[in-house]
Chain A
Amino acid sequence: MTPTPAPTAPDTEGATPHTGAAPAGSTAKTRAPRRRPRPRVWRGAVLLLAGAYFLVPLIASFVFTVHVPGQGVSFEAYTQLLAADGFTESMLLSLGLAAATIAVSLLLAVPALVAVRLGSPRLRPVVEVMCMLPLVVPPIALVTGITTVLRWGPEHLSRTPLYQTFLAVQDERFPVVLVLAYTVLALPFVYRSLDAGMRAIDVPTLVEAARSCGAGWPYVVLRVLLPNLRASLAGAAFLTLALVLGEFTIASLLGFRPFAVWIVTISGAHARMSVAVSVLSLLITWLLLLVLSRAGTNPATVSSAPSSSPTSRKES
């Protein structure tokens, strides 16, 4: 993955024979010295345009939040955020949903993946297909199915104990149905992250060594396997967190109000504040990812945008 080290004297490269260690870019030109700078110019122009396209909206958004026409600069959009009506509730709801989703998806995926590595290799394709299938179903299509299923409750099950369950999962304060839906959406990312992590360690040998030293199964999983998978667990958790915090489609169509839905509801009355929240969410995502890449995960495993698709949004 890492590029080869660059030769230290680039201006002599036209005269020296190329070695295999020269980066591809330096060989992109013919030997004619007058054409040598061209790739440099091309590369600079591309990066400059890309930088402008990606930075201008961020800078403009920030300016939009602090510059009030006719009044000068004010940071009210940020300072009043915490006091804004519904901010705390929706944020806490989103964080709670994210924590529950991370816990459920890891509790489901870790044992299954360990089992596949240890004694049931024939299960591997089954588990993989089950985890990857949600990529094929756009969130909006999944919602149509979920609303249909939820309507069965009052229609067909009102005399059965199941009906109480249907009501319980749709509790406004903590909609379990969202946790279930988000877990389904998160499974492909969790699976991919954990699978990459397990490929890097020799699970059967580790387990066998621990077992022959007399460790019990809980000890093996908690003290041997999980520490070795720390980076991929963190990666899976991060992707799930990003997905849940930004998820709008399912929550809004089922009528709940976590964070992303709240932003849209206040955007009419508090345009500045909704943009401020958007800028903050990007900064926080950035920080989280930096922390993660420090932890040794490869950011290239991050995939497509979850909320709008993270459709998928998503491969390395």
Chain B
Amino acid sequence: MSPSTPTSHPEGTAGGSTTSRRRRRGPRTWLAALPLLAFTGLCFGIPLGAIAFGAVTRTDPSTGATQLTGEHLARSLQGPYLGSLIGSVQLSALTALIGGVLGVLIAQAVVTSRSQALRSAALTASGVLANFGGVPLAFAFIATVGISGVVTQLADLTGFGWNLYSFTGLTVVYLYFLIPLMVLVIAPALDGLRPQWREAAQNNGATGRQFWRHVGLPVLAPSLLGGFVLLFGTAFAAHATAAALVGGSVPLVTLKIADALSGNVLTGQENVALALGLDMILIAGLVMAVYLPLQRRSARWLR
């Protein structure tokens, strides 16, 4: 590991305390940050601007005149588009809730176990599985519980009314990368629950339930909520898994945008796709605005 500094700077001031001595180099150092800022401005800023601009303007093809309009945004909030937004929010909320609860249970089981091997294996596995999204995940599930999947054949799942290519099926698939993500996020917070607190509560006569109600959960609350919000955002933005799995039978906003972009619908839908993209960015921005302060708050208890 890298050497740790004898004096630990509080976050954000590392290097700041010595700036006065280095003032004369100040004007030159910011040049090194310029390429990054220029790059994000160009490659991220311009597409973002194009989304915002396209979502609120209409260009007349014959005259080339551009005028402000709210029609694209209004259309993106009507009919099948609204249905896809609602479907995405429902799926994300449901998977984030289930994944959050199960992730906490698994993380607690791992954190409180005494086996160092189990712990490192579980965390490494979570790191891999949380990144195992997209197309490969869809195919692994098709091979397992798809129409001719191995488990489907063995257990005759079709007889139970099981269908992978549905809202329920998608929920089961999404949990495969959401649960490990929750384990990764929440494990440090569960580690931060010090055994001394539980002992102090017990010595004062608290039952296990009282300990969780008055000590455990309040301390964990920001991390739990932050984890839920992060899972929601992850599920909300996911596209590849759903595209490879259901194609379009489940109304999801990401699939609708892809349809509109690849011209599977009427031409002139590009602006509605942009408006839907803007809707998504606004929702994802809300999610982040909730998540970041929570993360900061939960860091208080983690040494």
Residue positions of A touching B, CB distance < 8 A: 1-4, 6, 10, 18, 20, 22-30, 39, 42-43, 46-47, 50, 53-54, 56-58, 60-61, 63-65, 67, 107-109, 111-112, 114-121, 123-124, 126-127, 130-131, 133-149, 180-181, 183-184, 187, 197-205, 228-229, 231, 239, 242, 246-249, 252-253, 260, 263-264, 267, 271, 274-275, 277-279, 281-282, 285-286, 289-290, 293, 296, 299-300, 302-316
Contacts and interface: CB of A to CB of B under 8 A. Distances in A.
A118 B12 contact: no
B74 interface: no
Interface in B177-225: 177, 179-181, 184-185, 187-188, 191, 193-196, 198-199, 202, 207-208
B239 A133 contact: no
B65 interface: no
B111 A127 contact: no
A61 B133 contact: no
A193 to B, nearest CB: 13
**Chain B: interface residue count, which band?**
35 or more
B101 to A, nearest CB: 11
B40 interface: yes
Contact of B135 (A1, A28, A228, A246): A246
B140 A58 contact: yes
B136 to A, nearest CB: 3
A45 B250 CA distance: 33
Contacts of B134: 246-248, 260, 305-308
Interface of B: 1-5, 11-16, 18-19, 22-23, 25-26, 28-33, 35-37, 39-40, 43-44, 46-51, 54, 102, 105-106, 108-114, 116, 118-120, 123-125, 127-137, 139-145, 149-151, 175-177, 179-181, 184-185, 187-188, 191, 193-196, 198-199, 202, 207-208, 230, 233-241, 243-244, 254, 257-258, 261-262, 270, 273-274, 276-278, 280-281, 284-285, 288, 295
Given A120-B26, A248-B240, A299-B124, 11 more contacts: A27-B198, A60-B140, A64-B143, A65-B143, A138-B281, A141-B278, A144-B273, A144-B277, A199-B11, A228-B2, A246-B240
